Chain A
Amino acid sequence: MPVLEIKNVTKQFGGLTALNDISFNIEEGEIRGLIGPNGAGKSTMFKNIAGFYAPTKGSIVYQGKQIEGKKPHTISELGIVRTFQETTLFQELTVFENALVGCHINARTDLFSAIFGLDRKKQKAAEEKVMEVLDFMGLSDRKNQLASELPLGSQRALAISVALVSEPKLMLMDEPFAGMNPEETNHMMDLTRKVRESGITIVLVEHDMKAVMGLCHYLTVLNFGQLLAEGTPEEIRNNDKVIEAYLGGAN
């Protein structure tokens, strides 16, 4: 059974159709690439899945449960977490504190316990979880640095750490390779594979074709809000419609 089913999703803004009757499935444990020229509707698709938008029509089914139109925090509680296009981090907080924000779901505290320090056990568990993730992402020796002091590659790794701390089952990564040099890209690719090996399904919106082709098991191509093609990286590379769309977009 697929972990996520997109069923006939349409999203309109006023008269503009950003997504037109899109359907595809994400299988458990895969790295799926969601690609397409600028303005194809990839980010809009992401926002629909993560609950930042509600689809105009159609449904989104996660583990057999309809989730379209639910609030972002409800969807992340169910195990879908997104990372953001830019380096959306708390620049003024340390690496450790940033990751701690991600603990929200699993180590929630109430007012009373917070005031009287009754949540020490939870707090400790949360801190251990954060250290475990920072270790995993190779950030533990930077834990007391401010996020703003990190190089780009580490900032992206931290953004993924924040998401990982919340123990997601499905991670939506929005352009994690943007603006990276080849070395950083390679490192990020290794990290992404590691995340997937830890049992998390990944959907990736990305323009960096080297990363997409190298990482993804299967690709879904959007163009002008339409589903253009689906297939393995090899099939997509040789798909005439896709080539045309990308060349057309380049003109």
Chain B
Amino acid sequence: MMNSLVKKIMFGAGLLLVLIAVPHFLKFHHQDLLIFLTINVLVVASYRIVTLTGEWSLIHAVMMGVGGYTATLLFKNYELGMWFTLPLAGGVSALIAAILCFPLFRMTQFYFLIGSFAAGEAIRLTWIQYVNPFGGTGGLSGVEPPIIGGIDFLDAIPYYYLTLVVVSICLFILYRIENSRIGLTLHAVHWKAALAESVGVDTWRYRALAFIVGSFFVGVAGGLKVHYLGTITPNQFGVGYMVFILIWVIVGGYNKFYGPVIGVIVLTMFDESIRGFDEIRPAIYGAMLIVSILFLPLGLESIPAKLKAWFGVGSAPDEPPLTDK
């Protein structure tokens, strides 16, 4: 017991050390990438809580955009600092999600998927259509990171630490939710909705809760991104980005909390290694998605367990379908 706790602390301390040290060994371009990677970790982790109830939404990328646009507009129009824009970015995303719950969660499965896609596209096209205040296709720019105590967070390394802190707090909260009784109920809603209902679970409320919480955190991620990047456009949050989220989650493994995180880290490193093949990069991802679904349905996360089973220690993990019919 004590031993495992010590191990955990050692592991945590080691991880922290690596996370703190890593930007100092990177070139500037890679420091940039590290920040986006950290933000994307939050994006996939927040997507995971939505998928816990078995509903695969296609609006997550747009919800990130909602957070991004909120932060941008608050910064530009009211000169609010990042400490206000980030929670408000999450809050507005959560609010929009809460409103969308009423139409969207009358549907399940395929209908929910298409419905969420439609709602997302409608929001995104609104940004394109209404140049005032959203800036149209060209988007908005001029968002700046904060200056706190003389540290200019425009520099990559300080901003990375800031992102790291925010993302870590968010991940901790998401992890706590997933491992609480609420997480257990979300699981119940996914796999045996009728049984859950018969012991008093309002499945609608829990689907909605997961969706709202997921949207809040992806909104925060959107705020983090725009404060570093300085610009925001509707196309950053299009189907293309949504598909990347799906790829990260699925290739990493959607069955465990850390699966999507592994997915986004491994694929970002992979992405760097195929730089120079820009033209065919989408096809490589497409092929990877297909191969992953067909041959590694539980994702990278399941490889250790599979290897163990192959060598005859431990049993192979079950492979539940992505959705029930």
- Chain A interface (Cβ < 8 Å from any Cβ of B): 50-52, 71-73, 76-77, 81-84, 88-90, 92-93, 97, 100-105, 107, 109, 111, 114-117, 119, 123, 126, 162-163, 165-166
With A and B bound together, what is the CA distance between A50 and B194 in angstroms? 11
Partner of B199, one of A76, A97, A116: A76
Q: List 15 A-B contacts (CB under 8 A).
A: A73-B200, A73-B201, A73-B202, A76-B199, A81-B198, A84-B198, A89-B195, A90-B188, A90-B195, A93-B184, A104-B200, A114-B180, A119-B181, A162-B199, A163-B198
Residues on B with C-beta less than 8 A from A102 are 199
A162–B201 touching, CB < 8 Å: no
Known A73-B201, A76-B199; judge A109-B194 contact (CB<8 A): no
Closest to A52 in B: B194
Known A73-B201, A76-B199; judge A92-B318 contact (CB<8 A): yes
A114–B176 touching, CB < 8 Å: yes
Q: Does B203 contact A (CB under 8 A)?
A: yes
Residues on A with C-beta less than 8 A from B192 are 88-90
Q: Does B98 contact A (CB under 8 A)?
A: no
A82-B198, A105-B199, A114-B182 are known; give 4 further A-B pairs, CB within 8 A: A88-B192, A90-B188, A90-B192, A101-B195
Interface of chain B, main secondary structure:
helix
B194–A123 touching, CB < 8 Å: no
With A and B bound together, what is the CA distance between A85 and B173 in angstroms? 38
- Chain B interface (Cβ < 8 Å from any Cβ of A): 173, 176-177, 180-182, 184-185, 187-188, 191-192, 194-203, 209, 213, 318, 320
Residues on B with C-beta less than 8 A from A166 are 199-200
- Which of B177, B182, B198, B213 has the most CB atoms of chain A within a 10 A radius of its CB? B198
Of all A-B residue pairs in the complex, the 3 with the closest CB atoms, nearest first, are A114-B180, A72-B197, A105-B200
Closest to B179 in A: A114
A73–B203 touching, CB < 8 Å: yes
Q: How far is the CB of A202 from the nearest CB of chain B, in Å?
A: 15
A90–B199 touching, CB < 8 Å: no
With A and B bound together, what is the CA distance between A29 and B145 in angstroms? 68
Known A71-B202, A115-B176; judge A101-B197 contact (CB<8 A): no
With A and B bound together, what is the CA distance between A203 and B162 in angstroms? 60
Closest to A82 in B: B198
With A and B bound together, what is the CA distance between A77 and B198 in angstroms? 9
Residues on A with C-beta less than 8 A from B194 are 52, 72, 84, 88
B199–A163 touching, CB < 8 Å: yes
With A and B bound together, what is the CA distance between A77 and B196 in angstroms? 12
Q: How far is the CB of A144 from the nearest CB of chain B, in Å?
A: 16
Residues on B with C-beta less than 8 A from A90 are 187-188, 191-192, 195
A101–B188 touching, CB < 8 Å: yes
Closest to B195 in A: A88
With A and B bound together, what is the CA distance between A11 and B320 in angstroms? 35
Residues on B with C-beta less than 8 A from A111 are 177, 182, 209, 213
Residues on A with C-beta less than 8 A from B195 are 84, 88-90, 101, 162
A76–B188 touching, CB < 8 Å: no
With A and B bound together, what is the CA distance between A101 and B184 in angstroms? 7
Partner of A104, one of B176, B199, B318, B320: B199
With A and B bound together, what is the CA distance between A92 and B177 in angstroms? 19
Partner of A100, one of B181, B201, B203: B181
Residues on B with C-beta less than 8 A from A82 are 198
Residues on A with C-beta less than 8 A from B209 are 111
With A and B bound together, what is the CA distance between A71 and B187 in angstroms? 20
A76–B213 touching, CB < 8 Å: no
Known A72-B197, A76-B199; judge A114-B177 contact (CB<8 A): yes
Residues on B with C-beta less than 8 A from A83 are 198
Residues on B with C-beta less than 8 A from A100 are 181, 184
Partner of A115, one of B177, B197, B201: B177
B180–A81 touching, CB < 8 Å: no
With A and B bound together, what is the CA distance between A82 and B197 in angstroms? 10
Residues on B with C-beta less than 8 A from A114 are 176-177, 180-182
Closest to B209 in A: A111
Closest to B196 in A: A101
Q: How far is the CB of B127 from the nearest CB of chain A, in Å?
A: 30
Q: How far is the CB of A208 from the nearest CB of chain B, in Å?
A: 22
Residues on A with C-beta less than 8 A from B185 are 101, 104
With A and B bound together, what is the CA distance between A84 and B187 in angstroms? 18
A109–B188 touching, CB < 8 Å: no
Q: How far is the CB of A204 from the nearest CB of chain B, in Å?
A: 16
With A and B bound together, what is the CA distance between A85 and B320 in angstroms? 22
Closest to A117 in B: B176
Residues on B with C-beta less than 8 A from A123 are 181
Residues on B with C-beta less than 8 A from A104 are 185, 196, 199-201
